[in-house]
A and B are shown apart, each in its own frame.
Chain A
Amino acid sequence: MTSFREYREAMANGTAVAPQGPLLPSDALGFQGERAGFVSRTVAAGIDVALVFLTVLGTVAVFWMISFIVDPMSPGTPVTPSSDRIPSVGIMIVYGYFLNWAYWTVCWATTGRTVGNLVMGLRVINHKGKRVRWVGAAVRAAFCTTFPFGLLWVIVSGANRSVQDVVMRTSVIYDWAVTIPGFIGLKLAEPDASSNE
């Protein structure tokens, strides 16, 4: 049995840690673990797409500034049009799609949450309730990026599942972890080794 002296010694040695628990409102406990609906998932996806869009704009801005180092403006030389100093729209769109795919892949394969998921309290899991593996996350991210309208199936689905969820046998659940998973207090779920995704 732990006595007060042992407790003090453990605290002095740094071998004791204060318990860290999830901090959830009591009225949110009932639906934790249930499949999320259309609005939450759409808002989360919108946040992610907005972040990617801002990143693309930032990249364009960086390219534009670098262009002045490579091709500085000087008197007597012809003015380079701005369209020549930044990548074309097609390249930016492809870059944005790639960035979005990579972002979703990494987030879903590592924590199951993107920034949008974290804000809305969502998490992506596979058919066993565990974290999606890298291949599965990459395929799902590509599917979601190229066919975002698959999210509309959540509205009519009897189980709040999108087209991507049905094909990939994944689910998006309410999981209101206040702390960032793997960073404070909570430990990441182990990947499902038996999954083929």
Chain B
Amino acid sequence: MLASSAVQQDGPVEYLNSDDRQEVVLITRPAPAGPPTLIEQTVTYAVSTSVNAALDRLVPVIADAIIERIDLTDVVIEQVDLNRIVNSALDSLDLTQLVIDRVDINAIVAEADIEAVIDRVPIVPLANYVIDAIDLPQIIRDSTSGIAGDAVSTVRKQGVGADQLVARLADRVTFRRRQRKLEAPGEPESLMDRFAADASTTHAPLGDGEKLGDEGNPT
């Protein structure tokens, strides 16, 4: 018997019993390299075949039994961070491009009830807003001045110009330095509210905040 033993490997020697200084040396050798033997292959095949066959039979049965006893929905809701999954999915997707590529928007619009949508739109306030925004009355005034009353307006303008010329000459002759007091009482009909209308007709119902101006009487 040896006084000490040690495991002899390819590496250094390890002393197993250092207290009594008795060493046991174990010597191992690596498995010989090379293809498995026929016996090894046969055993491996037999084991894997039998195990796989057993698993094929047992796993579905066991899984069904487990699933029957567990509410997977509750498990997923309780155990899975759905928000994280959804957010992650949304972050990885370009939804706009996806809708454009996959959805037939024209078909949806064709099926939509557009009239129902339009009927809910407050069209008169919208029109009033547009009219105010683009100053439509001024556009009409400027355009119609060249159509309807061009000749009359020309005569009237020339009359006004002649009035002012005669007044200036008279003021110069009479040495009047003060401006003429041309303000007259009342309000001209030409500047009355554009919605003034004949009393025999009525207006469409007005919306909230809408109102008609004074009809008729100048003050």
> A residues near B, CB below 8 A?
1-7, 10-11, 15-17, 19-29, 31-40, 43, 119-121, 123, 125, 127-130, 155-160, 171, 173-178, 181, 185-190
Contact = CB atoms under 8 A, between A and B. Distances in A.
B4 interface: no
B140 to A, nearest CB: 7
29 contacts: A1-B208, A6-B204, A17-B197, A19-B194, A21-B140, A22-B189, A23-B145, A27-B157, A31-B182, A33-B183, A33-B184, A33-B186, A35-B183, A121-B156, A129-B186, A129-B187, A155-B166, A156-B170, A159-B181, A173-B184, A173-B188, A175-B188, A175-B189, A177-B189, A177-B190, A178-B190, A187-B197, A187-B215, A189-B186
Contacts of A21: 137, 140, 194-195
A6 B205 contact: yes
Question: Which secondary structure dominates where chain B touches chain A?
Answer: loop
B216 A190 contact: yes
Interface stretch (B69-77, B79-87, B118-126): B118-126
Counting chain A CB atoms within 10 Å of each CB, which of B155, B184, B192 scores highest?
B184
A37 B160 contact: yes
Contact of B187 (A33, A121, A190): A33
A119 B119 CA distance: 46
B219 A129 contact: yes
Contact of B185 (A36, A37, A38, A129): A129
B44 to A, nearest CB: 82
Contacts of A40: 156, 159-160, 162-163
A159 B167 CA distance: 10
Given A36-B163, A43-B159, A128-B185, A24 B141 contact: yes
B196 A33 contact: no
A133 B156 CA distance: 27
Given A2-B123, A28-B157, 9 more contacts: A7-B123, A15-B202, A19-B197, A34-B184, A40-B159, A121-B156, A174-B188, A177-B189, A189-B189
Contacts of B178: 158
B198 A187 contact: yes
Interface stretch (B21-29, B45-53, B101-109, B146-154): B146-154
Contact of A176 (B156, B199, B206): B156
A16 B121 CA distance: 18
B217 interface: yes
B159 to A, nearest CB: 4
A57 B89 CA distance: 97
Contact of B204 (A10, A20, A26, A174): A10
Nearest to B204: A16
A123 B188 CA distance: 9
A142 B138 CA distance: 41
B211 interface: no
A7 B121 CA distance: 11
B103 to A, nearest CB: 28
A7 B176 CA distance: 58
- State the 9 A-B residue pairs at the shortest beta-carbon distance, nearest first: A129-B186, A37-B163, A21-B194, A129-B185, A16-B204, A39-B162, A25-B145, A40-B159, A34-B182
A186 B199 CA distance: 10
A82 B219 CA distance: 55
A54 to B, nearest CB: 19
B17 interface: no
B164 interface: yes
